[in-house]
């Protein structure tokens, strides 16, 4: 495995069926140079997603994966500060299969959402970065799909795609435990299927990408109470003249917050929105074709490139982002492992 030069980014692509990570050096011009493949663990069965998250300091990469029939685990990798290459450090069992991983804002706790198990969990993270014991298991309505801490690290939101719910919880950073807020949940639009939640830059709004109706919902969020408000805007991520069943997937801001992007798997597009700097309102720009079935994508920390993973193409595509108007321009497509389901990007100093 070769190393990555400084002043670039490293891209990690998680491949579900080959149970490995494809690693690239992302150059400033958008060229993606393969650095190698890192094995996770070959499972007893394939077909489930592998999901990734990084700790806040970008020192550790966590890969949630299937390790047996109905059994899941998280592998800890340490990220080289010089090259960005991941080194395996250990594997920890999880309480159930996982469709989403994140850490709290300190990196001391790992959150997991289990789509198949209808639950979210909290695990401790040791000072050496390795995931430790399960501290809490919280049962949810069907198809838990996301769990994230708010910017203050005092609240946690998690979704039930099957129940059309967003749970709102208090978070105790000293113990790692979550507890119901008042009220403990808010209803999403019926049959919308809330999938992933992200916070706007100021932490006073959230955006929810809905899997089943292909929309993004913008809602106010009170950072003092951790309570979500009513939907203030709903925007479609579907391309013009859409035909078929919507299948929303991933959602990310450009780091400066000026543009928002969301992927849709039925038509294999990424839709761009301009974000009003005062109100946070979305103005739809364009839907751009990308790799087949873009289950996941990510934007580099400099806001220069968007990297999308095609679950059916077994490739990733790099798109340049125009900083002035948010436009995407396809630059290149690269082979990865089988069934890529997650993308993360780290900047090297």
Contact between 249 and 210 under an 8 Å Cβ cutoff? The reply is no
Is the pLDDT reported for residue 41 higher than 80?
no
Query: Which pLDDT belongs to residue 29?
Result: 96
Query: Which pLDDT belongs to residue 48?
Result: 74
What band does 2 get if pLDDT is binned at 50, 70 and 90?
Answer: low
What band does 345 get if pLDDT is binned at 50, 70 and 90?
Answer: very high
Query: Which pLDDT belongs to residue 201?
Result: 84
Q: Which are the contacts of 155, defined by CB distance < 8 A and separation ≥ 6?
A: 149, 168, 169, 170, 171, 181, 226
Query: Which pLDDT belongs to residue 195?
Result: 98
Taking the alpha carbons at both ends of the chain, their separation in whole angstroms is 20
Quote the distance between the C-alpha of residue 231 and its chain's center. Answer: 22
Mean pLDDT, residues 7-25: 94
Sheet holding 259-264, edge to edge: 248-253, 259-264, 269-275, 282-289
Query: Which pLDDT belongs to residue 59?
Result: 96
Strand 194-199 versus strand 119-125 pairing type: unpaired
Q: pLDDT tens digits for 85-100?
A: 999 999 999 999 999 9
Alpha-carbon span 342 to 295, nearest angstrom: 7
Query: Which pLDDT belongs to residue 257?
Result: 97
Residue 112's closest CA among 88, 79, 128, 134?
134
Residue 262's closest CA among 247, 277, 276?
247
Contact between 227 and 198 under an 8 Å Cβ cutoff? The reply is no
155: its two tokens: 């609240």
Is the pLDDT reported for residue 44 higher than 90?
no
Query: Which pLDDT belongs to residue 147?
Result: 98
Alpha-carbon span 115 to 132, nearest angstrom: 22
Mean pLDDT, residues 50-59: 97
Alpha-carbon span 192 to 187, nearest angstrom: 10
Residue with tokens 């497509």: 333
Is the pLDDT reported for residue 3 higher than 90?
no
Contact between 291 and 322 under an 8 Å Cβ cutoff? The reply is no
Q: pLDDT tens digits for 60-74?
A: 999 999 877 667 899
Percent of the chain whose predicted confidence (pLDDT) is above 70: 95
Strand 86-94 versus strand 71-79 pairing type: antiparallel
Is the pLDDT reported for residue 135 higher than 60?
yes
pTM score, two decimals? 0.96
Is the pLDDT reported for residue 42 higher than 70?
no
Mean pLDDT, residues 9-14: 98
Alpha-carbon span 192 to 124, nearest angstrom: 33
Is the pLDDT reported for residue 45 higher than 70?
no
Mean pLDDT, residues 113-117: 95
Alpha-carbon span 135 to 128, nearest angstrom: 18
Residue 221's closest CA among 193, 198, 244, 247?
198
Query: Which pLDDT belongs to residue 202?
Result: 85
Alpha-carbon span 341 to 295, nearest angstrom: 6
Q: pLDDT tens digits for 163-194?
A: 999 999 999 999 999 999 999 999 999 999 99
Query: Which pLDDT belongs to residue 8?
Result: 87
Mean pLDDT, residues 278-294: 98
Q: pLDDT tens digits for 259-273?
A: 999 999 999 999 999
Following CA atoms 111, 264, 285, 301 in sequence, which dihedral angle do they give, to the nearest 10 degrees?
40
93: its two tokens: 């069992």
Average pLDDT of the residues of the chain: 95
Query: Which pLDDT belongs to residue 67?
Result: 76
Q: pLDDT tens digits for 217-243?
A: 999 999 999 999 999 999 999 999 999
């Amino acid at each position: 495995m070769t190393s990555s030069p400084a002043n670039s980014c490293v891209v990690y692509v998680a491949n579900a069926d080959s149970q490995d990570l494809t690693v690239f050096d992302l150059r400033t011009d958008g060229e993606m140079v393969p650095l190698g493949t890192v094995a996770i663990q070959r499972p007893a069965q394939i077909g489930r997603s592998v999901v990734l998250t990084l700790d806040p300091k970008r020192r550790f990469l966590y890969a949630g994966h299937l390790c047996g029939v109905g059994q899941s685990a998280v592998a800890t990798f340490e990220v080289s500060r010089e090259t960005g290459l991941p080194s395996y450090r250990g594997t920890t069992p999880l309480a159930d299969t996982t469709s989403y991983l994140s850490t709290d804002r300190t990196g001391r706790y790992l959150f997991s959402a289990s789509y198949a198990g209808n639950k979210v969990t909290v695990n401790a993270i040791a000072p050496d970065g390795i995931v430790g014991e399960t501290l809490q298991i919280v049962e949810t309505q069907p198809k838990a799909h996301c769990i994230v801490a708010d910017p203050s690290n005092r609240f946690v939101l998690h979704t039930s795609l099957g129940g059309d719910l967003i749970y709102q919880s208090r978070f105790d950073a000293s113990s790692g435990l979550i507890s119901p807020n008042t009220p403990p949940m808010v209803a999403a639009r019926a049959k919308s299927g809330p999938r992933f939640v992200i916070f706007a830059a100021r932490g006073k709004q959230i955006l929810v990408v809905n899997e089943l109706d292909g929309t993004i919902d913008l809602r106010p969020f009170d950072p003092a109470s951790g309570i979500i408000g009513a939907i203030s805007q709903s925007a479609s991520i579907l391309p013009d003249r859409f035909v078929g069943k919507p299948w929303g997937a991933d959602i990310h801001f450009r780091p400066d917050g000026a543009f928002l992007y969301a992927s849709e798997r039925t038509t294999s597009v990424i839709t761009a929105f301009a974000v009003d700097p005062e109100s946070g309102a979305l103005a739809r720009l364009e839907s751009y074709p990308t790799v087949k079935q873009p289950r996941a994508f990510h934007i580099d920390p400099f806001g220069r490139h968007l990297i999308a993973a095609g679950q059916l193409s077994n490739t990733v595509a790099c798109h340049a982002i125009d900083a002035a108007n948010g436009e995407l321009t396809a630059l290149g497509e690269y082979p990865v492992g089988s069934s890529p389901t997650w993308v993360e990007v780290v900047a090297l100093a």
